[in-house]
Amino acid sequence: MRAVISVYRKEGVEKLARALVNLGYEILSTGGTARYLREHGIETEEIAKVTGFPEILNGRVKTLHPVIHGGILYRDWVEKDREEIDELGILPVDVVVVNLYPFEEMMREELQQEELMEFIDIGGPSMIRAAAKNFFRVIVLVDPEDYDWVVEKLEKGSLSKSDRAYLAWKAFSHTAYYDSVISTALKSLFNIEEEGKELSIPMRLSSKLRYGENPHQKGTLYVNPFEELGIARSQILQGKEMSFNNYLDADSAVRIALEFPNDPACVIVKHNNPCGVATGSDLLEAFRRAKETDPESAFGGIVAFNDKVGLKVAEELTSMFLEVVVAPEFEEEALSVLSKKKNLRVIRFLGMSNTYDVKKVSGGFLIQDEDGELYSRLEVVTERKPTELEMRDLLFAWKVCKYVKSNAIVIAKEGQTLGIGSGQVSRVDSLRCAIEKARRHGFDLKGAVLASEAFFPFRDSIDTAHDAGITAVIHPGGSIRDEEVIGAAREHGMAMVLTGMRHFRH
């Protein structure tokens, strides 16, 4: 019996090789791995001696040889295969242990193109794929976590067909991920802008979740190697494990909080919609004002801050039931207070990185750029211009509106959301919901502003807003009835600003 071992990362391979030798396997290896195993007292034959052909091109060609691949791909149940390897003097290979050049790690080192390309493994993936294809006879190992249980089963007798099939699946998944990382990296490295006819998105398992959106659905969290930040990379400092819905809500919350880099801001999200957003002189004021928007919905919500959480904020947070608190930093005293809420998830958010947005539909996927822009222009289309305070509030409301489910309406005043309408199939119904909520929680809408993430199809929303006391409106424009809508604002003496950019969120 023979085993080929050729690994870049040597962790655990010494123990594996020694166990295989004790089981009667002859070890074949490439230069670096062979030296490592010999240094640890394990007898190894270099592949170059087996093939009768030296490693060439500075190690680029080591295992690409019929003696090796013939030994791996040989089928002992096919008579012609048995005749051919006997005639050619090829001995079967029964185990293949390979891990690959660290392209993923090296792509972050800002190497020149020629340097980075040297970390693309060729022989390794070829052997892995050959062994996985012939899993009926060959054991293929690409994950050091599998070394111990495979040895244990071999010591007890042999691996079952299902064990070998499992290892083959892992092997093909491993090379698919590896190639996907390379493809994605080279698209950026070579400045290729066109969309490819084929697309593979690399994802690596981060954690298995308790369930998905509902308990009967499985849920998992995968990370994208090209996004080193984001909610998937955040640090869980305390509390129960994050759920599928926690990740969705926390992602929405931090995205909104990051829209306000120059002011202390707090965002409260419930069911992936903001239910309260505010800025303040400090985070404590911002939290209180955000909670005031809709204290009923804030119960059991996800809270995000854009600055370090201190003791006073932590004490306020523990006065109510919350699922998650997210911030870039926490003072030690704050963590001590928050720790009294054992189930409260406290998350340190390290920042945001954007690549693309992926949505699943039946039969396929929809892929788009992240919605990273805010507006293409700010055009005042009414005779009355917004006051300085109104313009600040219009931009505040516009930033929040970008993250509200369509049809989206945000009513705001003095850096605080007063009413949020979301998810209605009619825009005027979203507005009515926002007004009703604001009034129910005691807000005076006189002098408030209104943001709509898409154009108004009719003037009815403007009339309704005016009747509620709203004095300024921001929306993208672009309706065939824009003049009617703008005319309504002029009639009421309201200020209206067009952004030229909509922000649907389905």
pLDDT digits (tens, 9 = 90+) for 328-338: 999 999 999 99
Largest CA distance in the chain: 96
Do 344 and 383 lie in one domain? The reply is no
Per-residue pLDDT at 116: 92
Overall average pLDDT of the 158-186 stretch:
95
Do 36 and 158 lie in one domain? The reply is yes
Per-residue pLDDT at 47: 86
Overall average pLDDT of the 283-295 stretch:
97
Do 50 and 179 lie in one domain? The reply is yes
Residue pair 348/235 in contact (Cβ under 8 Å)? The answer is: yes
Using the structure block, give the residue that is written with the tokens 């109104």.
Answer: 390
Do 39 and 159 lie in one domain? The reply is yes
d(CA 302, CA 238): 15
- CB-based contacts of 49: which residues, under 8 Å, 6+ apart? none
d(CA 399, CA 263): 13
Q: Could you write out the three-class secondary structure of 205-261?
A: EEEEECCCCCCCCCEEEEECCCCCCCHHHCEEEECCCCCHHHHHHHHHHHHHHCCCC
Report the SS3 class of residue 266: strand
Domain boundary among 348, 366, 392: 348
| From 271, 308, 312, 341, the catalytic residue | 271
Per-residue pLDDT at 248: 96
- CB-based contacts of 122: which residues, under 8 Å, 6+ apart? 60, 64
Identify the burial level of 439 via C-beta atoms within 10 angstroms of its C-beta, where 0-12 means exposed, 13-18 middle and 19 or more buried: middle
In a domain, residue 270? The reply is: yes
d(CA 20, CA 155): 9
Question: Cα angle at 418 between 300 and 242, to 5 degrees?
Answer: 25
Overall average pLDDT of the 49-64 stretch:
82
Report the SS3 class of residue 475: strand
Do 159 and 17 lie in one domain? The reply is yes
In a domain, residue 487? The reply is: yes
Question: Cα angle at 129 between 17 and 3, to 5 degrees?
Answer: 20
Residue 59, pLDDT > 80, answer: no
**Taking the chain, what is the end-to-end CA distance rounded to the nearest angstrom?**
58
Q: What is the CATH number of the domain that holds 29?
A: 3.40.50.1380
Residue 158, pLDDT > 90, answer: no
In a domain, residue 355? The reply is: no
Residue 157, pLDDT > 90, answer: no
Do 107 and 57 lie in one domain? The reply is yes
Q: How confident is the model at residue 62 (pLDDT cuts 50, 70, 90)?
A: confident
Mean pLDDT of the chain: 94
Domain boundary among 132, 161, 189: 189
- CB-based contacts of 148: which residues, under 8 Å, 6+ apart? none
Residue 204, pLDDT > 90, answer: yes
| From 15, 133, 153, 441, the catalytic residue | 133
Per-residue pLDDT at 160: 93
Overall average pLDDT of the 171-190 stretch:
94
Residue 294, pLDDT > 90, answer: yes
Do 329 and 383 lie in one domain? The reply is no
Do 427 and 486 lie in one domain? The reply is yes
Per-residue pLDDT at 150: 96
Domain boundary among 348, 369, 392: 348
Identify the burial level of 87 via C-beta atoms within 10 angstroms of its C-beta, where 0-12 means exposed, 13-18 middle and 19 or more buried: exposed
Do 335 and 448 lie in one domain? The reply is no
Per-residue pLDDT at 49: 84
Do 167 and 250 lie in one domain? The reply is no
- Is 62 tagged catalytic? no
- State pLDDT tens for residues 3-34: 999 999 999 999 999 999 999 999 999 888 99
- Is 133 tagged catalytic? yes
Per-residue pLDDT at 441: 95
Residue 164, pLDDT > 80, answer: yes
d(CA 407, CA 395): 18
- pTM here is 0.90
- State pLDDT tens for residues 225-250: 999 999 999 999 999 999 999 999 99
Listed residue (38, 140, 148, 68) closest to 98, CA to CA: 140
- State pLDDT tens for residues 479-505: 999 999 999 999 999 999 999 999 999
In a domain, residue 366? The reply is: no
- State pLDDT tens for residues 303-353: 999 999 999 999 999 999 999 999 999 999 999 999 999 999 999 999 998
| Token representation of residue 238 | 């305390």
d(CA 247, CA 242): 7
Phi-psi category of residue 76: left, alpha or beta, with phi > 0 → left and psi -120 to 50 → alpha: alpha
Residue 56, pLDDT > 90, answer: no
Which contiguous run of DSSP H or E holds residue 159? Answer: none
Do 16 and 148 lie in one domain? The reply is yes
Do 340 and 241 lie in one domain? The reply is yes
Using the structure block, give the residue that is written with the tokens 């219009």.
Answer: 394
In a domain, residue 344? The reply is: yes
| Interhelix angle 13-22/147-156, nearest 10 degrees | 10
Residue 354, pLDDT > 80, answer: no
In a domain, residue 213? The reply is: no
Q: How confident is the model at residue 60 (pLDDT cuts 50, 70, 90)?
A: confident
Per-residue pLDDT at 48: 82
Overall average pLDDT of the 161-178 stretch:
97
Per-residue pLDDT at 82: 93
In a domain, residue 438? The reply is: yes
- Structurally, the chain folds into a number of domains equal to 3
- CB-based contacts of 360: which residues, under 8 Å, 6+ apart? 366
- CB-based contacts of 335: which residues, under 8 Å, 6+ apart? 237, 238, 314, 346
Q: What is the CATH number of the domain that holds 276?
A: 3.40.140.20
Overall average pLDDT of the 57-79 stretch:
89
Per-residue pLDDT at 251: 96
What domain range is 310 assigned to?
A: 227-348
d(CA 504, CA 427): 12
Residue pair 17/5 in contact (Cβ under 8 Å)? The answer is: yes
Q: How confident is the model at residue 61 (pLDDT cuts 50, 70, 90)?
A: confident
In a domain, residue 364? The reply is: no
